[in-house]
Amino acid sequence: MTTRQGRTHCYQFSGLVAAAVMFCLSLTPSLLPRGYLYQGLISGLLTAVGYGLGVLTAWLGRQIIGRPLPEAGPRAWRILLAAATVAGAISVYAGARWQTQIHQLIDLDPPPRVGYLLVPPIAVVTAAAWVGLARLLRQAARWIAALLGRWIPAALVVHAFASHDVHHGLGRWSERRTAGSHVTEETYPRGGRVPISGPPTPPGPATTPPGSCVRQGQ
């Protein structure tokens, strides 16, 4: 990413904003106790997720408005750096206190608070590794798509899909015509079978058993 002043940044501004927010949220109290190493790994993973969400949000914004978003200037980068540093320091201090209380509640020896000073560097390295892996996979996907595009022309792929759709549609139409040409039958309560296409045949007159005292017309 290149700014107007010609300076190149490896990461997008919107992604770093979301990453800083996710890092602070990752240090909130948890149900299970966390050591500083485990906390650093969790914070790094959530920071990478936040960076991806920030980049995705910026991309969606560009697609909606139909033009590039305004680029962040040097002042915005300095404000982000200062705000992220202060918020991160407060979150690490509060997170260390919360983890100490959680360890004490379940009768475990709390880890030294000094160890939580390693949480930010561990999180930064972990987040950079996840983001780098995502970029590597994206580049690999583009390379594979370009390689397949050389071997399989786009017109051939379109023709194959179009032929499949035409044959599938003709097959469905033929099945419907064949099914409509047959006369299906239904079973009526009296045991008779009549075609669905015609009106049902009314049942015959009821017969009176011999010796019955009930006669018709009475």
Over residues 139-149, the mean pLDDT reads 83
The pTM of the full predicted model, rounded to 2 decimals, is: 0.62
Q: How far is CA 153 from CA 83, 163, 166, 167, 176, in A?
A: 51, 16, 20, 22, 35
User: pLDDT tens for residues 83-96?
Assistant: 999 999 999 999 99
Burial class (CB in 10 A: 0-12, 13-18, 19+), 55: buried
Four-point Cα dihedral 114, 120, 126, 131, nearest 10: 180
In whole angstroms, what is the distance from residue 127 CA to residue 41 CA? 9
Report the pLDDT value the prediction gives residue 106, as an integer from 0 to 100: 86
Band of the pLDDT at 132, cuts 50, 70, 90?
A: very high
Task: Of 73-87, 136-150, 185-199, give the lowest mean pLDDT range.
Answer: 185-199
Q: How many CB atoms lie within 10 A of CB 53?
A: 16
User: pLDDT tens for residues 97-123?
Assistant: 999 888 888 888 888 888 889 999 999
Over residues 59-70, the mean pLDDT reads 86
Burial class (CB in 10 A: 0-12, 13-18, 19+), 133: exposed
- Top pLDDT among 13 and 112 is at 13
Per the prediction, the chain carries an average pLDDT of 76
Closest of 34, 189, 41, 54 to residue 97, by C-alpha: 34
In whole angstroms, what is the distance from residue 57 CA to residue 79 CA? 20
Task: Of 23-27, 132-136, 174-178, 212-216, give the lowest mean pLDDT range.
Answer: 212-216
Name the one residue in this structure whose structure tokens are 């705000």: 83
